[in-house]
């Protein structure tokens, strides 16, 4: 029987260069989709998938993330005093969402290195890792879909989606055999291949379920491009020793760490909102787009 997944790690120590200048002094994980920071969406996804303990890997200039999941005493006091009960409850709920801890990655030495910082927190358990700038809009939470497959196969699972055409070159790509509809046993993976060399149209997206042996694999990983320790390289090492699966997520994924992806996600999420959607749709209809 597979051990239950109840811990999740959120690497959030990257520099966010694709979103400068907004990310010069503010974390990209705090960019709001409508009115909620990116990282709150993915923490909520993890909690809805059964996670109760969260570790956020932060770096310099990331204290806004810690403040966001903390109690904001003055704000809560003010909202209560003014009788804004609903807002008060909304703000309070953020600080009660899960047990949240933090650790720092002192240098941005890559995603593999960021995940390595979670070793003490994770101990000898399987765990999830979620990248907050990959937002997945789905009926069943993306991580839940992955945990179901993890529990069935008792092996690490990564998230994948189909990408048409040349855009595949912007992703890690898997070479895999489909073992049941939408579930793949991975043979190999390659980071950002040329279109002609891509082994499939299945891109890796920012959701992972790891077993604790990933840490030894990261230890054994040599720094790659830019001196960074890539998680893809660590996974390739581990894959030689144990089966590794991918699941095609049922839902729509947005790359909210990219300016265009962020704009698209903002429009999509705003249109779905009960309090804003109708007026926003009306406004969009007035735009003279040709
Ligand atoms: P990205 O490459 O998308 O993030 O890394 P980045 O480096 O912040 O952004 P760009 O590409 O320069 O715009 C994927 C995830 O890994 C984390 C990032 O915070 C992001 O969630 N990461 C990356 C770390 O935590 N540490 C690192 O050293 C690198």
What's the CATH code of the domain at 169?
3.90.550.10
* Site to substitute for ligand 1 among 26, 103, 191, 257, most atoms within 8 A of C-beta: 257
Question: In this structure, is residue 142 part of a structural domain?
Answer: yes
Return the percent helix, strand and coil in the chain, to nearest 5. Answer: 40, 25, 35
What pLDDT was estimated at residue 3? 81
Q: For residue range 118-159, list pLDDT tens digits in order.
A: 999 999 999 999 999 999 999 999 999 999 999 999 999 999
Q: What percent of the chain has pLDDT over 70?
A: 100
Question: In this structure, is residue 287 part of a structural domain?
Answer: no
Q: Is the CB of 192 within 6 Å of ligand 1?
A: no
Closest atom of ligand 1 to CA, residue 131: 21
Q: Is the CB of 271 within 6 Å of ligand 1?
A: no
**Cβ-Cβ contacts under 8 Å for 153 (sequence gap 6 or more):** 243, 245
- Long-range contacts of 220-227, Cβ-Cβ distance < 8 Å, separation of 24 or more: 221/112, 223/109, 223/110, 224/110, 224/191, 226/110, 227/109, 227/110
DSSP strands (E only) in 12-95: 32-33, 36-37, 53-58
Whether the pLDDT of residue 290 is over 80: the answer is no
The token duo for 214 is 């990933």
Closest atom of ligand 1 to CA, residue 57: 25
Question: In this structure, is residue 152 part of a structural domain?
Answer: yes
> Could you identify the residue written with the tokens 């409508």?
34
Question: In this structure, is residue 93 part of a structural domain?
Answer: yes
Domain count for the chain:
1
What pLDDT was estimated at residue 93? 87
Question: In this structure, is residue 84 part of a structural domain?
Answer: yes
C-alpha 255, offset from chain centre: 10
Question: In this structure, is residue 26 part of a structural domain?
Answer: yes
pLDDT band at 285 (very low <50, low <70, confident <90, very high): very high
Q: For residue range 192-233, list pLDDT tens digits in order.
A: 999 999 999 999 999 999 999 999 999 999 998 788 999 999
Q: Is the CB of 256 within 6 Å of ligand 1?
A: no
Lowest mean pLDDT among 53-57, 59-63, 227-231: 59-63
Which pTM was predicted?
0.95
Euclidean distance between CA atoms 239 and 178, whole angstroms? 16
Residue span of the structural domain in which 60 resides: 7-275
Backbone angles phi, psi at 281, to 5 degrees: -60, -45
Whether the pLDDT of residue 61 is over 80: the answer is no
Closest atom of ligand 1 to CA, residue 258: 13
Q: Is the CB of 185 within 6 Å of ligand 1?
A: no
Question: In this structure, is residue 289 part of a structural domain?
Answer: no
What pLDDT was estimated at residue 201? 96
Question: In this structure, is residue 125 part of a structural domain?
Answer: yes
What pLDDT was estimated at residue 225? 74
Q: For residue range 4-27, list pLDDT tens digits in order.
A: 999 999 999 999 999 999 999 999
Closest atom of ligand 1 to CA, residue 19: 13
Distance 110 CA to ligand 1 centre (A): 7
């Amino acid at each position: 029987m597979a051990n239950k997944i109840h811990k999740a790690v959120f690497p959030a120590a990257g520099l966010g260069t694709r979103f400068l200048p907004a990310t010069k002094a503010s974390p990209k994980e705090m960019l709001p989709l409508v009115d909620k920071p990116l990282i709150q969406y993915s923490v909520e996804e993890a909690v809805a998938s059964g996670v109760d303990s969260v570790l956020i890997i932060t770096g310099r200039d990331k204290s806004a993330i810690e403040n966001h999941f903390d109690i904001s005493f003055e704000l809560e006091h003010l909202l209560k005093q003014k009788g804004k009960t609903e807002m008060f409850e909304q703000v309070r709920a953020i600080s009660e969402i899960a047990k949240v801890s933090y650790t720092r990655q002192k240098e941005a030495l890559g995603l593999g290195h960021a995940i390595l910082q979670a070793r003490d927190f994770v101990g000898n358990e399987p765990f999830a890792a979620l990248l907050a700038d990959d937002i997945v809009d789905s009926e069943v939470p993306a991580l839940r879909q992955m945990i179901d497959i993890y529990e069935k196969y008792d092996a690490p699972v990564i998230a994948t989606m189909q990408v048409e055409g040349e855009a595949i070159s912007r992703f890690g790509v898997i070479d895999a055999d489909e073992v049941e509809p939408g579930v793949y046993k991975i043979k190999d993976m390659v980071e950002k291949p040329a279109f002609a060399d891509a082994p499939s149209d299945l891109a890796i997206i920012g959701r992972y379920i790891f077993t604790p042996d990933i840490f030894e694999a990261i230890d054994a990983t040599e720094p790659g491009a830019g001196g960074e320790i890539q998680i893809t390289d660590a996974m390739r090492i581990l894959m030689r020793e144990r089966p590794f699966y991918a699941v095609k997520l049922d839902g729509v994924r947005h790359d909210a760490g990219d300016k265009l992806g962020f704009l698209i996600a903002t429009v999509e999420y705003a249109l779905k909102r009960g309090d804003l959607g109708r007026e926003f749709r009306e406004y969009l209809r007035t735009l003279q787009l040709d």
